[in-house]
Amino acid sequence: MSGDHPLLSSPDSPSAPLVQPSTLAKRLEQLLPDGSSCPSILDSNDDGQAESLLVREYIADSDCGERPGKQIFPVGPESRPQFALEYPTRHKRRQASWGTMELHSINGNSASHDVLQAPSGVQEKANKSHPDILLHEDPRLIYIDDPKRTNDKNEFTGNEIRTSQYTLITFLPKNVFIQFHRVAYLYFLVIAVLNQLPPLAVFGRTASLFPLLFVLCVTAIKDGYEDWRRHRSDNYENNRESLVLQSGQFQVKKWKNIQVGEVLKICADDTIPCDMVMLGTSDPSGIAYIQTMNLDGESNLKTRFARQETSSAVAEGCTIMGIIRCEQPNRNIYEFTANMEFNGHTFPLTQSNIVLRGCQLKNTEWIIGVVVYAGQETKAMLNSAASPPKRSKVERYMNRETLSLSIFLFVMCSVVAAGMGTWIIRHKHQLDTLPYYRKRFFTNWGKLNGKTYRYYGIPMEILFSFLSSVIVFQIMIPISLYITVELVRLGQSYFMIEDRHMFDCNSGARFQCRSFNINEDLGQIRYIFSDKTGTLTENKMEFRRASIYGRDYGSRVLVADQLQEENDTGGGVARKRWKLKSEVAVDSELMELLHKDLSEDERIAAHEFFLTLAACNTVVPIVSTGTSSSSAKGDLDVDSIDYQGESPDEQALVAAASSYRYTLFERTSGHIAIDVNGEKLRLDVLGLHEFDSVRKRMSVVIRFPNNTIKVLVKGADTSMLSILANDSQRDDELRHSTQRHLNEYSSQGLRTLVVAARDLTNEELEQWQGMYEDASTSLSDRSLKLRQTAALIESNLKLLGATAIEDKLQDGVPEAIESLRQAGIKVWVLTGDKQETAISIGVSCKLLTADMQQIIINGTSEAECRNLLVDAMEKYGVQSSNEINQSLRCKSNAASDYLVLPDEVKTSNVPKCHAGKEEGKISTPLALIIDGNSLVYILEKDLQSEAIANFFFILQLFDLATSCSVVVCCRVAPLQKAGIVDLVKTRTDDMTLAIGDGANDVSMIQMADVGVGICGQEGRQAVMASDFAMGQFRFLKRLLLVHGHWNYQRIGYLVIYNFYRNAVFVLMLFWYILSTSFSTTSALTDYSSVFYSLIYTSVPTIVVGVLDKDLSHRTLLQYPKLYGSGHRQEAYNIPLFWITMLDTLWQSLVLFYVPLFTYKESTIDIWSMGSLWTISVVILVNVHLAMDIHRWVFITHLAVWGSIIITYACVVILDSIPVFPNYWTIYHLACSPTYWITILLIIVVALLPRFVYKVVHHIFWASDIQIAREAEMLRRKRKHLGSEKDEDSS
């Protein structure tokens, strides 16, 4: 790199000299090792609109192309942290599964995993990197502006998208096929088919089909409407238009007709129609700004760059011909690996060179790009898959009860069939004279003479009797329950969405229900796994403290405006100043140090410290039009500047540097410009290694105006302290003082970063650049090779200092956590912050209290972690699962590679602390604090070796963690979060909830039983993967304690009531069949049986399931312990189910025998008796429901009593149709007082045991909910009496 020409200019394209050296140049001569002049310092009067300053030498070609001679490839964010969008394969083992963590020994030496060191074979490939060796990877070949050649060879998909599921032709068969995936639907289909057979035609053939057809039609209409909306959206997207290069001109073309390989032109504020590699922009430097809100929800502008090779050709109007080799379509929106061959040279393409479908172009007039992915293969479409489906716990229990009822149904049908066989055998000699079982027709003339009647022999008659009984008793399995539960959940979701108490006024975010099938699980949550940054905190960073060269700054702070006014009054020279969107408080002592003309080490360190903050980032400065303001001595040009970045931390650090007058005001693909106290300094960016989850640091290679090369690095202390130089005693002292400041900052809950730098020699630069070029052009293992390249320069760094940023707690977080803990919910915090920071935040949010005993597991080896676990368990008397069950077996899930525990070790009873006074143990609450390194040792063992030992090791961790009231996991990777959730989820039957706001929380959210996303500062990835979404963590308190409690109580009662409602009807028919010689005949009309569960009794169930409230929201929030009813499963459990079934048995007996005895001596016909039974059972189940309603409103009255009225109306209508056998029966019955007395007697006698049981239970064994309800009633009564007294006194 030490060529004959300077790096900032081309020998063939002279440029005017920028500015003359100024006072800043003189200072730089003191601050920089090389004392040469600074010809690249911009004058203060420069407008900042410099031409492209990418470092290249070009030799003009005859065809308007350019051949690069010597070149330094420009900066591009080449490797972003990559999320594992799929579970790792087995050969990657646990390191990939849990996220690689960098371990450090006690003496600070790095003990990284092997992922940082490539095998020798990989290293050899990296040294010989060339696109030709990657052909075996089967890359995608795109011929620029040659779509025919591109698509002829590969048959890529077009750009037409389709999110709909059906077409007009496929809708009916496909929808029916999908619906019949439910086993219950198949059951009722078989029932309907059996009823079409003549020997089994118990009901009318049309009537038997009605319930199933009704359910199928309602679901089909819903699905059809939703798919019609998808079709409408697809048609709108596919028929939008863009400019496509055709025959040398850009012409309008519909999106659906765009092909891979075509060149597009996108104008300002337009939406990107497909994934395209940028070739050029309206900006001479090839930069463009895009908004990715439609893709990831982030509102900050992102920068994308066109390669200078193609950007220059576009600017000159030359035709661009070349080949792009890129990876196959995938879901990772944070990485793009490709190469471009252009004019005989190959250069890399990264994520910063591609714009994705759905993004919008902002602050840029136009861009030109070539399509690489289209239609369904775009990253946006590949990421549009819904989160994995989840089933609620109540629904799983409901299937268990359905199985029990199926067995009971089989027993009843067997009894009827056996009784029928016995009866036929006993009366086999009389079969010719019996109406239904005779062997021959009575007539002896015509074709019927001697013909066999409906008699198929005793075995077949028994079989037919069994099948007929199944048809008669079919509603024992409630088909209506499925639709009822779905409608109730939909209503519950509406009221949760419309709850104004869960609306975030600051962000305008309302509550979202993204999954409707797990509402009731919100009332049974036992564990909450929460992210910290952006979930418990605001994720709005503020720069607070700094440690520079061993000194702590930040105690003496002034507002930047105040300090600016003080300095502006000191001279009359007009200068430009920058106004930030939000001002940052600065330390006056540090400000004085920065702007003294000194050459001492502390001054140099402070200068490089803030240069690093301003330069080592990917923040984009947005400068608005300048204004003039007057000061005491002169005029000031004030320009407002706003920083757009993907990380709030980076924005805060750059804003802090600007407050100390190191203002980043310009960024291109090859250089940055920084205003240092009024003097403009341009720095060439030779390379950038972005932050990733393995290195945990970021570095940038900068060329200063005097040709000095520096690498500026910032990162987490765990990854930075091990790569610092330790050449002198001063370095050791500086390191210890900085470490002391870091601990102090962390104890105050501040987020910390370490800043360091070093000079690069020409030899080191050339070696790094060769590796950087090879790694960045590689299509295989690019991230690994770039990490190895970064390790070359990220070593022997000079420590400059550390930063401390405050991330304030959200409003109401301490109160919410305290209420959740009182409710019996265990809150675990999983964060990537330091241990001290996590502990400090835990104390601030009342997660950790003064009376807790903190158990800290932060071992540096497997043996040390095991010893810490065992010692803690012995000290606090935690009983290990090893002692409970030694016959456990261990197995590995091949899909996720997570540990799967056998069913026999699952339990909802977590280990207890067996501490007793006689043992000298303490019984105080415990809090476990464990770091990611320890989790690596515990959870990332190879399960093929030492499987049993490692399994018990994991159980020890689980036993200790579940014995603690609070668990804080710090320094954890995203997949470690999911692994911790999975450990608890598979080890217990308790419900888990995960809440987070960022993309790193997606795996945790999808792993938990319930996932909640926060609409925060880190985009909407967490929201899109969640089941529920909200604006603030504090809303979780109301979501669980109020809506969760209500939903669980309602759904639990709804399921039990539906089983009771259908069972009482079926048992009534069962008693009738037993008393009619097992004939499987029915006294009820066909339509009465069908309408019973669909019309007569369905509406009250839905209304109560949506509107009923056992307690007010104020009481539930005031007494969080009431939430424990969900943990105890009070609303739905096995004993309650069987008690209800016993009550159902009694009520069915009363229903059948009371009318039978009442009309024993009368001449009433069987259809009149059936009409009485129909009315009686409807009134009975509705009064039964009314006894359990807690909150009566107008709609509830209308539903319950209106249901009875509608039943009477339907019976009257059906009894008025002459063709029906029950014609006019209701009119005769209603005229008799006996009819009404019988109904009243049925209701009283049937519900009397239930009433007595409820009264006795309420008096002697009242539940917490009943006590709280009585307290509510007393408060209301006192309030009412108090208001009456006030009225009387007035």
Could you give the residue numbers annotated as active site? 531
d(CA 494, CA 489): 9
Judge contact between 253 and 241, C-beta under 8 A.
yes
Adjacent-strand bridge partners of 537: 809
Closest CA to 28 of 682, 667, 801, 621: 682
d(CA 475, CA 875): 58
Close Cβ partners of 591 (under 8 Å, ≥ 6 residues apart): 563, 660, 661
Joined tokens for residue 765: 């630069």
d(CA 150, CA 518): 47
> What does 827-880 look like in DSSP terms, one character per residue?
EEEE-SS-HHHHHHHHHHTTSS-TTPEEEEE--SSHHHHHHHHHHHHHHTTBPP
Joined tokens for residue 926: 């415990």
Closest CA to 166 of 229, 103, 215: 229
**Which stretches does DSSP call E strand in 704-839?**
709-715, 751-760, 798-809, 826-830
Joined tokens for residue 50: 């410099």
How many CB atoms sit inside 10 A of residue 14's CB? 8
Closest CA to 578 of 649, 645, 668, 673: 673
d(CA 971, CA 830): 8
Judge contact between 789 and 930, C-beta under 8 A.
no
d(CA 860, CA 936): 10
Backbone angles phi, psi at 804, to 5 degrees: -135, 120
d(CA 1063, CA 477): 9
Close Cβ partners of 376 (under 8 Å, ≥ 6 residues apart): 157, 161, 162, 382
| Rg value, the chain, Cα | 38
d(CA 744, CA 977): 27
Closest CA to 644 of 303, 278, 306, 281: 303
Joined tokens for residue 437: 């079982």
Q: What are the C-alpha distances in Å from 270 to residues 243, 246, 291, 821?
A: 11, 20, 11, 49
Burial letters for 325-353: b for 16+ Cβ neighbours within 10 Å, e otherwise? Answer: bbbebbebbbbbbbbbebbeebbbbbbbb
How many CB atoms sit inside 10 A of residue 1242's CB? 25
d(CA 75, CA 54): 9
Q: Length of the chain in residues, anyone? A: 1290
Judge contact between 94 and 110, C-beta under 8 A.
no
